[in-house]
Chain A
Amino acid sequence: MLSVARHSALRTLRAQTCSKSLFAQTQSSSLARLLSTLAILEQKDGKINTGSLGAVTAGQKLGGPIHGFVAGKAGKSLAQAAAKIQGLEKVIAVENEAYERGLPENWAPLLVENIKKGGYTHVIVSHSAFGKSLLPRVAALLDVQQLSDVMSIESEDTFVRPIYAGNAILTVQSSDPVKLLTVRQTSFPPAETEGGSASVEEGVDPKVESPTEWVSENLAKSDRPELASASKVVSGGRGLKSKEEFDRLIPPLADALGAAIGASRAAVDSGFADNSLQVGQTGKNVAPQLYLCAGISGAIQHLAGMKDSKVIACINKDPDAPIFQVADVGLVGDLFEKVPELTEKLKSQS
């Protein structure tokens, strides 16, 4: 009863504020009719990054036409590949080597020009290193308060995102004329890359020079599935004690399952695993079918990155470790015995 009363009181209050701002209301409803979305697609060496296609899926939740945006050295072939993505009406492409490395200093003015020209109401990019580095800069230039790591789209102006390492879920309404969102990869699966037939249009190129120079990169090479999008993840923590033990126990188990490898911050900090494998609030978010971890206690910051996994399994010798509170399958035991045994038994079954 109480909650109903509170609810209706809230509604009255809302109705009052609405009637006071009649102008704002008509403005927003006309916006709704003209809603259109720009989905920014990432590229690497002339190929569109699958993870970035979540931006298109998120755009579909809004309704209205979605245009894709690509830029780089291979602008034209990128545009052709993007035109096949399902859900896109048009692809805006800019061919210029200056955009190859995704530097925010020249990408931001590039996007601002194209957003203004296209009159978009929504701009979406994946919450990846590229999106995180770029979109806030664009937002500042457009004088807009951006929304980061959006997990769900409630309506054209209302969005849901995690705060406090996923310990609270915030629903927030934006009053900005253009909504800029980075979207969580694990919440918006990639759009299909075949079957679409978007038209291609050349974008505006303001040719702003970047004051930042790209020097080099050092990417971890691996034949395993990519961590953020893998259907199975095997993850190791401090309990593995050394890099040697991590390398001895974790990769064979991952191979037996066809899984990607992840790690806790403790394992990364101690040098057992590469930084790019870190799962958690400050690392990657994963939501695989199976998250199997060994020697991870389950600190808040780690849980933030993996608790949306379908099935969580853990091996830990401490029966009171917080990881057992979220695990669907928990095994209390010494990982140095249990992990090799599990690896062997999984191998012999396949």
Chain B
Amino acid sequence: MSSKLRILVPVKRVIDYAVKPRVKSDRTGVETANVKHSLNPFDELSIEEAVRLRERKQPVEDILAVSAGPAKCADTLRTAMAMGADRSIHIDVPEDKALEPLGVAKLLKAIAEKEQSNLIILGKQAIDDDAGQTGQMLAGLLNWPQATQASKVEISDDTITVTREVDGGEETLKAKLPMIITTDLRLNEPRYASLPNIMKAKKKKLEKKTLADYGVDGKARLKTIKVEEPPTRQGGGKVEDVDGMISKLKELGAI
């Protein structure tokens, strides 16, 4: 007798992975206005995995996508629903008050408790802040087992077996529901949302909430002092042939 899966999938709207971010001239951050944004690539994997669990005839009762951020996060949630999430919640947070991972984890804890989620699948990191913390923090706050950087997830009854990517190879862990999983790139190949599914997603439920609804203050612990361009490398030019390469490498002391 296995319990029904109530899956929570947090998603983040980030600058598209193919765009090279530009640092603002006042060094307060990265230019986000008029820049293409998308669903964080690791979060696409989370949605895909949740949908595949249902397709593999696991007892998936509900797939809930949530996102905290400015109004445009609603688009991100529509994408998640077009990929197969059943419904979504948008927590309105102004762009200049963006939550830190700890704040997001506290918010997700409150949502998971209210929605009675028993499996939470998150991306291993957001490609903007590259923190890689939210899933583990959430697992700590809920005191649930965690399996990060998952490349394979198998469920049988209440036991989840996860293969995770570690330094030098992979390891396999086993735990019982409820559980937190964070996704690595090798987990699956996310699907494209088809036009009919995009149309259907428009009719799916998207609730609007605020941080106050969940009793989360979202106060920042970190203060940005400055954001700078990384030092640029000077391309050293090209060589004609293999001998040229070897002598240049010798000259540079690399061999």
On whether the beta carbons of B249 and A341 are closer than 8 Å, the reply is no
On whether the beta carbons of A331 and B242 are closer than 8 Å, the reply is yes
Q: How far is the CA of A301 from the CA of B16 in the complex (A)?
A: 12
Q: How far is the CA of A104 from the CA of B135 in the complex (A)?
A: 12
On whether the beta carbons of B171 and A217 are closer than 8 Å, the reply is yes
* Known contacts A168-B30, A281-B127, A342-B242, A140 near B170 by CB under 8 Å: no
Which chain B residues numbered 1 to 60 have a C-beta less than 8 Å away from chain A? 15, 17-18, 20-21, 23, 30
On whether the beta carbons of A330 and B237 are closer than 8 Å, the reply is yes
Tell me how far the C-beta of B177 lies from the nearest C-beta in chain A, rounded to whole angstroms.
Answer: 10
Q: How far is the CA of A176 from the CA of B230 in the complex (A)?
A: 27
Which chain A residues numbered 313 to 344 have a C-beta less than 8 Å away from chain B? 313, 315, 319, 324-333, 338, 341-342
* Known contacts A137-B140, A342-B242, A275 near B165 by CB under 8 Å: yes
Q: Mark B223-255 against chain A: 1 for CB-CB distance below 8 A, else 0.
A: 111111110010111111111111011001111
* Known contacts A215-B161, A331-B244, A164 near B171 by CB under 8 Å: no
* Known contacts A163-B128, A275-B165, A331-B239, A145 near B245 by CB under 8 Å: no
Please give, as numbers and ranges, the residues of chain A lying within 8 Å of B146 by CB-CB distance.
Answer: 104-105, 133, 137, 212
Please give, as numbers and ranges, the residues of chain A lying within 8 Å of B222 by CB-CB distance.
Answer: 145, 147, 172-175
- Comparing A21-29, A54-62, A244-252, A304-312, the segment that makes contact with chain B is A304-312
A1 sits at the interface (CB 8 A) = no
Number of interface residues of B (CB under 8 A): 81
B120 sits at the interface (CB 8 A) = no
Tell me how far the C-beta of B28 lies from the nearest C-beta in chain A, rounded to whole angstroms.
Answer: 11
Q: How far is the CA of A338 from the CA of B144 in the complex (A)?
A: 53
A77 sits at the interface (CB 8 A) = no
Interface of A, secondary structure class, is mixed
Set A104, A130, A132, A166: member contacting B132, Cβ < 8 A:
A132
Please give, as numbers and ranges, the residues of chain A lying within 8 Å of B105 by CB-CB distance.
Answer: 140
Question: B141's closest neighbor in chain A, by CB?
Answer: A140
Q: How far is the CA of A200 from the CA of B166 in the complex (A)?
A: 30
Question: B238's closest neighbor in chain A, by CB?
Answer: A330
Q: Mark A209-238 against chain B: 1 for CB-CB distance below 8 A, else 0.
A: 011111111111000001010001000000
Set A172, A216, A282: member contacting B223, Cβ < 8 A:
A172
On whether the beta carbons of A290 and B173 are closer than 8 Å, the reply is no
A167 sits at the interface (CB 8 A) = yes
Please give, as numbers and ranges, the residues of chain B lying within 8 Å of A331 by CB-CB distance.
Answer: 238-242, 244-245
On whether the beta carbons of B169 and A328 are closer than 8 Å, the reply is no
Q: How far is the CA of A275 from the CA of B187 in the complex (A)?
A: 12
Q: How far is the CA of A138 from the CA of B146 in the complex (A)?
A: 13
Task: Specify which of A149, A168, A301, A313 lies most central, judged by the most chain B CB atoms within 10 Å of its CB.
Answer: A168
Please give, as numbers and ranges, the residues of chain A lying within 8 Å of B209 by CB-CB distance.
Answer: none
B125 sits at the interface (CB 8 A) = yes
Q: How far is the CA of A175 from the CA of B226 in the complex (A)?
A: 16
A82 sits at the interface (CB 8 A) = no
On whether the beta carbons of B237 and A148 are closer than 8 Å, the reply is no
* Known contacts A172-B222, A290-B249, A328-B252, A165 near B130 by CB under 8 Å: yes
Q: How far is the CA of A282 from the CA of B226 in the complex (A)?
A: 24
Tell me how far the C-beta of A341 lies from the nearest C-beta in chain B, rounded to whole angstroms.
Answer: 5
On whether the beta carbons of B102 and A139 are closer than 8 Å, the reply is yes
Which chain A residues numbered 235 to 267 have a C-beta less than 8 Å away from chain B? 257, 265
B176 sits at the interface (CB 8 A) = yes
- Comparing B80-88, B147-155, B191-199, the segment that makes contact with chain A is B147-155
* Known contacts A290-B254, A313-B254, A327-B236, A338 near B171 by CB under 8 Å: no
Q: How far is the CA of A301 from the CA of B20 in the complex (A)?
A: 10
On whether the beta carbons of A144 and B221 are closer than 8 Å, the reply is yes
Set A133, A147, A300, A325: member contacting B235, Cβ < 8 A:
A325
Counting contact residues on chain A (CB < 8 A from B), the size range is 35 or more
Interface of B, secondary structure class, is mixed
Q: Mark B123-163 against chain A: 1 for CB-CB distance below 8 A, else 0.
A: 01101111111111111110011111101000000000100
Tell me how far the C-beta of A46 lies from the nearest C-beta in chain B, rounded to whole angstroms.
Answer: 17
On whether the beta carbons of A313 and B165 are closer than 8 Å, the reply is no
Please give, as numbers and ranges, the residues of chain A lying within 8 Å of B127 by CB-CB distance.
Answer: 164-165, 281
Tell me how far the C-beta of A266 lies from the nearest C-beta in chain B, rounded to whole angstroms.
Answer: 12
Q: How far is the CA of A289 from the CA of B130 in the complex (A)?
A: 25
Q: How far is the CA of A49 from the CA of B222 in the complex (A)?
A: 31
B213 sits at the interface (CB 8 A) = no
Please give, as numbers and ranges, the residues of chain B lying within 8 Å of A216 by CB-CB distance.
Answer: 171-172
Please give, as numbers and ranges, the residues of chain A lying within 8 Å of B246 by CB-CB distance.
Answer: 342, 345-346, 349
Please give, as numbers and ranges, the residues of chain A lying within 8 Å of B248 by CB-CB distance.
Answer: 313, 328-329
Q: How far is the CA of A214 from the CA of B102 in the complex (A)?
A: 27
On whether the beta carbons of B226 and A171 are closer than 8 Å, the reply is yes
Question: B248's closest neighbor in chain A, by CB?
Answer: A329
On whether the beta carbons of A213 and B173 are closer than 8 Å, the reply is yes
Tell me how far the C-beta of A323 lies from the nearest C-beta in chain B, rounded to whole angstroms.
Answer: 9
Q: How far is the CA of A349 from the CA of B247 in the complex (A)?
A: 12
A169 sits at the interface (CB 8 A) = yes
On whether the beta carbons of A148 and B254 are closer than 8 Å, the reply is no
* Known contacts A168-B30, A346-B246, A218 near B141 by CB under 8 Å: no
Tell me how far the C-beta of B101 lies from the nearest C-beta in chain A, rounded to whole angstroms.
Answer: 7
Q: How far is the CA of A183 from the CA of B15 in the complex (A)?
A: 25
B92 sits at the interface (CB 8 A) = no
Q: How far is the CA of A139 from the CA of B149 in the complex (A)?
A: 19
Tell me how far the C-beta of A256 lies from the nearest C-beta in chain B, rounded to whole angstroms.
Answer: 10
Q: List 10 A-B contacts (CB under 8 A).
A: A133-B146, A136-B132, A146-B131, A174-B222, A213-B174, A217-B170, A219-B169, A325-B235, A330-B235, A345-B242
- 5 closest residue pairs by CB, A with B: A140-B140, A219-B169, A136-B136, A328-B236, A136-B133
